[in-house]
Amino acid sequence: MAIVHQLDKRSGITYAYESYSYWDKEKKASRSKRTLIGRVDPATGEIVATDGRRRKVAGTNSQTGEEDLAGLCEKLKKRCAALEALVVLLKEEIAGLKRAG
């Protein structure tokens, strides 16, 4: 097994893959398979683990996880407040239509 670095020319990001070779009996030729490990940090040269969908692997930094949960909580609070305000406005509109009709 080897670690292979491959540059994506479109984005300019270098990715690290774990590559291993095997013998294909049907084709009678050597084949290789690659598994994504992560991105290569251009400043330090270290491999930063990713899950392959432009996201960092969960659990790599517990402090970041706590910050993410706090941010998610704030977003949910704002969304709930907006929905509650919408419910109040719709109730007032329905009451106004009943009075007019």
- The total of other beta-carbon atoms located within 10 Å of residue 15's CB is 19
Cα distance between residue 63 and residue 32, in whole Å: 38
Residue range 2-40, pLDDT digits in tens: 999 999 999 999 999 999 999 999 999 999 999 999 999
Q: Which positions ≥6 away from 30 have C-beta within 8 Å?
A: 21, 22, 23, 24
pTM of the predicted structure, to 2 decimals = 0.50
Task: Let me know: does 4 contact 16? Beta carbons within 8 Å.
Answer: yes
Condensed to tens digits (0 to 9), the pLDDT of residues 38-49 reads: 999 999 999 998
